[in-house]
Amino acid sequence: MDALEGRLLDLMLVFVLVLSRVGALVATAPIFTATIIPKRVKAILAVSLAMLMTPLLVDGSWARPPEVITLGRLIVGEALVGMLLGLGLSAMMSGVQVTGQVVGQMSGMALAETVDPAFQSNASIFNQVFYFVTMAVFVCIGGHRMTIDALLDTFAWAPPGQAQLGAEFGTAMVAMLSLSFELGLRAAAPLLVSLFLATLVLGLISRTLPQINTIAVGFGLNSMLTVGVMMLTIGSVAWTFQDPLGDTIAYLRDTAVGAGP
């Protein structure tokens, strides 16, 4: 009877640690962070994944923590590993939203901001278009499956109770933010260049023909130019993010693996 109780207690402790890592990933990874997904669905997904993984991770090498404080420290370490994967991907994909906001401001169409259902905040239409295009690419290349595979790989190098992250967490976040800014500029480069050239042309026209109302003319010209260029180059956004998404997941996995014991 005592052996059975000890076995059940070990299963429960391992389940709590696994749920901490899986729950942190589900709470921060792309797609799952959208507010349109009910919290109950996120919780059910995290618990279901943890229940599937727990029986595979309980072995004879598991050492029960002697104190509650030690258990709390282990839970924090597990959550950091999950957050490294989830927040790293979210940070990498957030750059395209900033770029969409810049395009909206330059084109003058940011005045028609709408409510973003994914984050329950005001955003320009370009912000939402770029974001949903990158999310579609993420799903099409199997990013959700690769993320789960990366999570399973972390359990291979660091079983429950052995996860630990130090300076690697901050280094990975800085790298993801830098990559996010670079990809956002590359994705919106055609729009930014065309709007910049249109602004220069309007400036020259206002100098040579001051009687023309450049504000009224410029707004219509920028709107048509922005919509036309975006229709022609929207595929480049998907192409820009296709390979870096897979490489980012591999980088975050290797970073987590490299930080392990």
pLDDT at 17 over 80: yes
Mean pLDDT of 147-151: 83
Return the domain boundaries, the chain: 2-258
Mean pLDDT of 247-253: 80
Mean pLDDT of 2-19: 74
Task: Give the residue with greater pLDDT, 256 vs 184.
Answer: 184
Among 57-66, 119-128, 226-235, the least confident range: 57-66
Asked if 77 contacts 16 with a C-beta cutoff of 8 angstroms, the reply is no
Mean pLDDT of 209-232: 74
Task: Give the residue with greater pLDDT, 123 vs 247.
Answer: 247
pLDDT at 130 over 70: yes
Q: Would you state the pLDDT for residue 77?
A: 79
Q: Would you state the pLDDT for residue 261?
A: 43
Q: Would you state the pLDDT for residue 137?
A: 81
Among 14-28, 98-112, 193-207, 233-247, the least confident range: 98-112
- Label residues 46-56 b or e (16+ Cβ within 10 Å = b): beebbeebbee
pLDDT at 28 over 80: yes
pLDDT at 148 over 50: yes
Mean pLDDT of the chain: 75
Mean pLDDT of 5-33: 79
Mean pLDDT of 220-246: 77
Written as one string, the DSSP assignment of 211-258 is TS-HHHHHHHHHHHHHHHHHHHHHHHHHHHHHHHHHHHHHHHHHHHHH
State if pTM tops 0.85: no
Provide the phi-psi class of 26: left if phi over 0, else alpha when psi is between -120 and 50, else beta: alpha
pLDDT in tens, 76-128: 878 888 888 888 888 777 777 777 777 777 776 666 566 665 555 666 677 77
Name 198's Cβ contacts closer than 8 Å, sequence gap at least 6: 218, 221, 222, 225
Q: Would you state the pLDDT for residue 260?
A: 45
